[in-house]
A and B are shown apart, each in its own frame.
Chain A
Amino acid sequence: MKQIVITGTRKGIGQSLAKHYLAQGWGVIGCSRGDSSIEHDQYKHYSVDVGDESGVIEMARDVKQQVGAVDALLNNAGIASMNHCLLTPGSTVSNILQTNVVGTFLFCREFAKLMRKSDQPRIVNFTTVAHPLNLEGEAIYAASKAAVESLTRIMARELAELRITVNAVGPTPVLTDLIKGVSSEKMDALLARQAIPRYGKAEDVINAVDFFIRPESDFITGQVLYLGGVT
């Protein structure tokens, strides 16, 4: 059975991704800061903060002992804070960078080591259209995802020798907790900047991730795919 590691599986897109790959017959290893929200024979959950280096190392060692090799990693876990840059506390900046950038890096580093025996090793990171659209009020979130895109492109080159492809998907706003505090006027204005002006759905994200993960995509790496016609 192929094994996929997905971060941030307790709710939202991460939970949808986990359920999708369970339905496809994968073994799914999920994590979140809280307890599991998924009950399934082929699902294993770790309560870990993705930005906690020792916690991520412990998780990777346990995964190695439990399942051996890992075939794919989806770095879905992320946090955002919509605020004007002049009103953003330094602690918020640190938290966002720790989860979005350091967390993505740590999972790539630790789980790439477990992918060396996989036939089709894949990493998919998560970015956002907030970066190419330069959205006001999202300076730190967008900057953190810009860093994730840079990590993606450079890791694609560094991990190519291990046959691991590293790509990123950039969803448009999806109706999840991540945007629950944003006014509808702001969201409408944002959607209007997309070529296809609608909210994204979990299925849109799953489709893009499926594309990167499929065996035929072994010549596709270092790419960032935005949804909704954002470039």
Chain B
Amino acid sequence: MPIMPTSEEVEVLVIESVRLLAEDFDLTALQQPTAESTLYGNDGVLDSMALVNLIADIEEAVSEKFCAAIALADEKAMSARNSPFLNVKTLTQAVLERIES
């Protein structure tokens, strides 16, 4: 059964995933990420491959910590006016919505 986390718990998970990714990809701008850190898009630091890795890392972490199998790159994400991958805050919200659904 999925464990329903708070938004703060999801944000901690996303920030930790971004921090680990920054280490792997040597991304100095994201070594100390916050809720406001931009990720992907106009001013984003991530290229498409880094984003793919981040999505996979977060899906795995959500599965391990909250026992929920989610897919972040779903129809909703593709058709959203504002990308859920814009920054840590939007990504946190996207993760939370998918766990809740």
B90 on interface, CB distance cutoff 8 Å: no
Show the binding face of A for B, using Cβ within 8 Å: 53-54, 57-58, 60-61, 64-65, 113, 116, 161-162
B60 on interface, CB distance cutoff 8 Å: yes
Besides A64-B60, A65-B63, 5 other A-B contacts (C-beta < 8 A): A57-B70, A58-B69, A113-B59, A161-B49, A162-B49
A-B contact count (CB 8 A): 22
Dominant SS among interface residues on chain B = helix
- With both chains docked as a complex, state the minimum distance between the C-beta of B74 and any C-beta of chain A, in angstroms: 9
14 pairs of residues in contact across A and B, judged by CB atoms under 8 Å = A57-B69, A57-B71, A60-B69, A61-B60, A61-B63, A61-B69, A65-B63, A65-B64, A113-B56, A113-B59, A113-B60, A116-B53, A161-B49, A162-B49
> Which 10 residue pairs are nearest across A and B when measured between Cβ atoms?
A113-B56, A61-B63, A61-B69, A57-B69, A161-B49, A58-B69, A57-B71, A64-B60, A64-B63, A116-B56
Q: Which of A61, A116, A161, A162 has the most CB of B within 10 A?
A: A61
Please indicate the chain B residues that have their CB under 8 angstroms from the CB of A162 in the complex.
Answer: 49
Which chain A residue has the least Cβ–Cβ distance from B56?
A113
For the complex, what is the distance from the CA of A60 to the CA of B64, rounded to whole Å?
12
- With both chains docked as a complex, state the minimum distance between the C-beta of A152 and any C-beta of chain B, in angstroms: 18
Please indicate the chain A residues that have their CB under 8 angstroms from the CB of B53 in the complex.
Answer: 116
Interface residues of B in 24-52 (CB under 8 A from A): 49
Please indicate the chain B residues that have their CB under 8 angstroms from the CB of A53 in the complex.
Answer: 71
Please indicate the chain A residues that have their CB under 8 angstroms from the CB of B63 in the complex.
Answer: 61, 64-65
Which chain A residue has the least Cβ–Cβ distance from B49?
A161
For the complex, what is the distance from the CA of A53 to the CA of B70, rounded to whole Å?
11
